[in-house]
Amino acid sequence: MKRTFIYATVLLICAVGITVFSWWGKSEFGRASLENLPVQVIQVGGRDVHVTIADTISSRERGLGDRTGLAPDEGMLFVFASDAKYGFWMKDMHFPIDILWLSGRGEVLDMRKDVSPATYPAIFTPKAPARFVLELPAGFSEAYNVKIGDEVKMR
């Protein structure tokens, strides 16, 4: 009887824990909502781009993972507190992107073009430490002749 009670208690605690963690992952408390993130206009390759700002751990972890695509003038800007070689992968992505690593002044330090979701779990890292990472629709860098050394103007 005592042993059955212990098993039932452990099972109940596990069930409650799984339920709470499952709910937490689906709720706005556990995940950053793109609708609630700030948007800023920056200039890349002479074109205005509306970027969603990912400056919290949860928004950076989620990234563009749940999106089905980007408009030609949309992107996501990942903001970090210090310079480092931040690695990016295509986990949960449904469309290809261009990835640009930027200095604190907005200089393009490195880039990867047309990165496909099929590359997951490969991790892409820059050659030099960066402060920002900019994700744009695939082909944007080619279409607007964006290259290493160019300046991204942040307002």
CATH at residue 86: 2.60.120.1140
- Assigned token pair, 141: 């860098």
Token reading at 68: 């089905």
Q: Give 32's DSSP letter.
A: -
pLDDT in tens, 37-73: 899 999 999 999 999 999 999 999 999 998 999 999 9
For position 66, what pLDDT does the model report? 81
Number of structural domains the chain divides into: 2
How many Cα atoms within 13 Å fall on the side-chain side of residue 29? 5
Q: Are residues 77 and 105 in the same domain?
A: yes
In the chain the beta strands, taken as DSSP E runs, fall at: 39-44, 47-54, 74-84, 97-102, 108-115, 130-137, 153-154
More confident residue, 6 or 74: 74
Residue 19 structural domain: 1-30
DSSP letter assigned to residue 37: S
Predicted local distance difference test score (pLDDT) of residue 28: 39
Mean pLDDT across the chain: 86
Locate 64 and state its tokens.
């563009």
- Pairing mode, if any, of strands 108-115 and 130-137? unpaired
Verify that 58 and 80 share a domain, yes or no. Answer: yes
